[in-house]
Amino acid sequence: MLSEKVTCNSHGQDSSYFLGWEEYEKNPYDEVKNPKGIIQMGLAENQLSFDLLELWLENNPQPTAFRNRSNQSVFKELALFQDYHGLPAFKNALVRFMSEIRGNKVSFDPNNLVLTAGATSANETLMFCLANPGDAFLLPTPYYPGFDRDLKWRTGAEIVPIHCSSLNGFRITKSALEEAYKQAEKQNLKVKGILVTNPSNPLGTSLTMHELDILVNFISSQNIHLISDEIYSGTVFSSPSFISIMEVLKTRNLMNTEISKRVHIVYSLSKDLGLPGFRIGAIYSNDERVVCAATKMSSFGLVSSQTQYLLSEILSDQKFTKIYLSENRRRLKQRYERLVKGLKRSGISCLKSNSGLFCWVDMRHLLNSNTFESEMELWKKIVYEVGLNISPGSSCHCGEPGWFRVCFANMSEETLDIAMQRVKSFVDSMATENNQIFRQKSMNLHSRRTKSLPKWVFELSFHQREVSADER
Ligand SMILES: Cc1ncc(COP(=O)(O)O)c(C=O)c1O
């Protein structure tokens, strides 16, 4: 009796990414009420600079009381009908903020901006504008698990992975792009474009000029689109600095060309300002037909006037945005380093990164075998025994087992330290367990084969094994 959309399972909700959230919801960690609960490290939320926003609100109480700077009520204006073009004051403030994040090297025209209810809606709307059901977009792996839902579910579009490898730090290469394109053709899928997240979720790295050049050359030669999801652009906390796709178009003198019309940017205030609940996203496109269609579609997910009004006031305070952006980056860097150091104490390393709200953590040495089954086994142990919800690489379509995304900006420093202690005890207990298994196996072997050997030979071999295990 229901539609196919309802009954098909292409939503992606059964991914371990979402299952981990469900487990966390059943048993959430609380320092006082539930100290043995699960710590949520699978949520890319930025709670590090909330105090700065709260202080701004305290010093500027008018917008939340529906009043303008002259203390006159704007309640009626905001409450009555809003058309889908958005408040001009907010669009102006948002494009200015987007330029500021890019070091004012590029500027954005508010007429090319479409407001959406978060980047989720922006990405889906772009799919509706650029792809027919059954058309494909190429995405570098690993990618944000929500894309399976956002890009495919309602639109009927398909994702074909561009397989990136740990051998070169998961960088995008020309051959990987060509291979993905070929794969799509083999599956009889028409490739309409590439979608990248810059900086990457889950890698926490920003794209290099070389990678961006490869991408622009590829879309130019194949006559396809490029969507650059730049939702984490304001989180770049160390070098190399962020290069927006707009900057590449400008440097290569491609602005106002056919190619520039096929490049579209997605943005949102969910990460940089830490406001996912406010649902403020945007599409920036140089193609007026896309802007026009996306504006009409935005009727299905508008940002409320009240939210636009408040944010236009915050973002037009340039003194505030300057302090906020630099302080937020400083705090993210500090937090990133704390996580990297904490994991290192347990012998775990991360991909070197410079942005985002997470680390891409290498736990390949903790797997029983180099398989995704083994990755799931380890993930379950980490969720249920260690009490941490992290996201397995397979949920991000990573091609190599043993990588995990671990978020660091959605909790207090104390909670992060507790999480690191839990990881250390877990890794230590694994080492002890492995030692015991090894001892047992050696005992069996030795007793079968070398019954006549003197006792000191056994003791020596056990001792050597312990030393080498400790040294690891
Ligand atoms: C790469 C990427 N795009 C889009 C989104 C969705 O963001 P929003 O909350 O603005 O819908 C996320 C959220 O995690 C993300 O990581």
Q: How does pLDDT run across 100-148, given as a tens digit for each residue?
A: 999 999 999 999 999 999 999 999 999 999 999 999 999 999 999 999 9
Same domain, 299 and 366: no
When divided into structural domains, the chain yields a total of 3
Last residue of a domain, one of 278, 303, 321: 321
Question: What mean pLDDT comes out for the span 232-236?
Answer: 98
Mutating to test ligand 1, I would choose from 114, 159, 271 the residue with most ligand atoms within 8 A of its C-beta, which is: 271
Mutating to test ligand 1, I would choose from 43, 149, 231, 298 the residue with most ligand atoms within 8 A of its C-beta, which is: 231
Same domain, 10 and 122: no
Cβ proximity of 117 and 307 under 8 Å = no
Say how many CA atoms lie within 13 Å of 273 toward its Cβ: 25
Same domain, 314 and 333: no
Task: Note the pTM of the prediction, 2 decimals.
Answer: 0.92
Per-residue pLDDT tens digits for 89-104: 999 999 999 999 999 9
Per-residue pLDDT tens digits for 309-343: 999 999 999 999 999 999 999 999 999 999 999 99
Same domain, 306 and 360: no
Question: Helix %, strand %, coil % for the chain, to 5?
Answer: 50, 15, 35
Domain extent for 419: 4-47+329-427
Per-residue pLDDT tens digits for 345-358: 999 999 999 999 99
pLDDT for 454 beyond 80: no
Per-residue pLDDT tens digits for 176-196: 999 999 999 999 999 999 999
Catalytic residues: 144, 229, 231, 271
Dihedral sign from CA coordinates of 269, 5, 19, 201 = negative
Residue whose CA is at the smallest distance from ligand 1 atom 3? 119
Per-residue pLDDT tens digits for 408-419: 999 999 999 999
Neighbours of 450 (CB within 10 A): 11
Cα 426 to Cα 234: distance, rounded to the nearest angstrom? 34
pLDDT for 456 beyond 60: no
Q: What angle do CA 307, 308, 314 make, to 5 degrees?
A: 90
Same domain, 26 and 93: no
Beta strands in 315-414 (DSSP E): 349-350, 358-362, 388-389, 391-392, 403-407
Nearest to 282, CA basis, from 83, 122, 100: 122
Per-residue pLDDT tens digits for 65-93: 999 999 999 999 999 978 889 999 999 99
pLDDT for 303 beyond 90: yes
Cβ proximity of 144 and 270 under 8 Å = no
Per-residue pLDDT tens digits for 353-386: 999 999 999 999 999 999 999 999 999 999 999 9
Same domain, 104 and 32: no
Cα 216 to Cα 220: distance, rounded to the nearest angstrom? 6
Assess whether the C-beta atom of 216 lies below 6 angstroms from ligand 1: no
Same domain, 270 and 349: no
Provide the mean pLDDT of the chain. Answer: 93
Cβ proximity of 271 and 357 under 8 Å = yes
